[in-house]
Chain A
Amino acid sequence: MADTNPAFGSLKGFAVTFKQLFKKPITQQYPEYKRPVYPRWRGRHRLWRHENGLEKCVGCSLCAAACPADCIRVVAAENTPYDRVSAGERYARIYEINISRCIFCGYCELACPFDAITLGNEYELSEYNRDDQIYTKDMLLAPPIKQVPVADPELYDTPIPYYKSHS
């Protein structure tokens, strides 16, 4: 009886909302508490070096070609015996990512033949100025200033791809 009468249904709703009043809110207070991101979370880009200090990027522009948002700009130059920057024949003289255009699809890290570029976990990328959102090669080679907590990969059954774990 009580279930079919719409008036009783409404009263039941009042009981539900009143009970909610005494529960602890499930809100995560963001700037104070940063929820650990998923280990394969695609955030800020990172360029990598070999162990001997040479850059992995050879300036082939495959990442720029793969980018659907067209946010990567690569200008390559020849390595010389006196000024050797990368392990290959050429190196990226200019490597810029316009982070405000990037859609974080991860195609650049898939396209890269040398695993020189990967997507990190950092997501706090806002700036007061649009010019500050163009990341240069030096910024991408350096470890990110802001670090975010990352969840334990053991919690998830998805494998971490090779290019993420071996850069």
Chain B
Amino acid sequence: MSEPWWISVVKGLVLINLLLLVFSYATLIERKVIGRMQLRYGPNRSGPFGIAQPFADLLKLIRKESFFPAAAVDVLYVLAPLTAAFAAMTAFAVIPFGPGWEVAGYHIAGQMVDVPIGLILVFAIGSVGIYGFIVGGWASESKYSLLGSMRTCAQLVSYEVSLALSVLGVVIMGQSLSLPELVEKQNGTIWFVVPQLIGMLVFLFAGTAETSRAPFDLPEAEQELVAGYHTEYGGMRWGLFTMAEYINLITLSGLAVTLFFGGWLGPWLPGPVWFLVKLIIILFVFIWLRTTVPRLRYDQLMRFGWKVLLPVATVNAVVTAFFVVLI
């Protein structure tokens, strides 16, 4: 028996709040970890160990003045951050965090919606989210924003190709586009990370660029390029853009866990716990990467995307297909 509508509603509410909680504490953990790696403490003033910092940030952002640039296109200017945040939160719906449970005769799936083409859906919704970034820069009627959004557009479009190609190996090996099925394929055997190590590395690199994080954070290089598409945004609208970026990162890490690290699979502990542990490890790797590697120059970024990642991802997919057909 499938889920009645009220279970979906309750699950949706719980999931979205959990996602936002993980996001807000991911910002805190990121600042703390980067701080410790630079021999600083990171935020430690609001509450013990800075526990209340995400809420302090939220209050500060909400209470800030809500301003418009005089020449901004009103509707698009407001809609752009909403689109980005909406798409980011939607994409998480298909990430499976558990095998599903039978409770009182109802089957509760281990994800928000179980669609047979979950993997394609994640990329499709991610592309919709990119509109938020591009339109936001264009609608602010500022040359820095416009240039920034063009930069973002070029980077995201270039790296999306490699990102999609890098998971092709897993799809060929798992012979499915449904995320829970791909996880089940890893049950009992080795995780896909072992045969698809190159695919995993390409996925992580392209994913870093796709979520515009350091060292590929040219869309928001606040130190040297006057931020980018969100130069003219402030307060919670800016917060929504940042939130979209972080939730994209969480979704991407969740996707990496699902595709390469066996999703919820693991001994002793229940599935969601394993999923969360793996998610946090991947997030830590992203944070580690951010604080270690300096930002790339724009031509280096493009060269790396087209001349290194794309050929490697293509060759990886072709070789995988070759082996799958052969064996």
Contact = CB atoms under 8 A, between A and B. Distances in A.
Given A13-B292, A14-B292, A20 B40 contact: no
Interface stretch (A22-30, A60-68, A94-102): A22-30
Interface of B: 33, 35-41, 288, 291-293
B288 A27 contact: no
Contacts, number: 33
Given A13-B293, A18-B288, 13 more contacts: A10-B293, A13-B292, A17-B37, A17-B288, A18-B37, A20-B36, A21-B33, A21-B36, A25-B36, A25-B39, A25-B40, A26-B39, A27-B41
B33 A25 contact: no
24 contacts: A10-B292, A10-B293, A13-B293, A14-B288, A14-B292, A16-B292, A17-B37, A17-B288, A18-B37, A18-B288, A20-B36, A20-B37, A20-B38, A21-B33, A21-B36, A23-B39, A25-B36, A25-B39, A25-B40, A25-B41, A26-B39, A26-B40, A27-B39, A27-B40
Main secondary structure of the interface of B (DSSP, over half): helix
Interface of A: 10, 13-14, 16-18, 20-21, 23-27, 29
A13 to B, nearest CB: 5
B40 A17 contact: no
Contacts of A24: 39
B37 A21 contact: yes
B217 to A, nearest CB: 17
A27 B292 CA distance: 20
A17 B39 contact: no
Contacts of A21: 33, 36-37
Contacts of B36: 20-21, 25
Give the top 7 A-B pairs by smallest Cβ distance, nearest first. A17-B292, A17-B37, A20-B37, A13-B292, A26-B39, A25-B39, A25-B41
A15 to B, nearest CB: 9
Nearest to B38: A20
Contacts of B39: 20, 23-27
A7 to B, nearest CB: 11
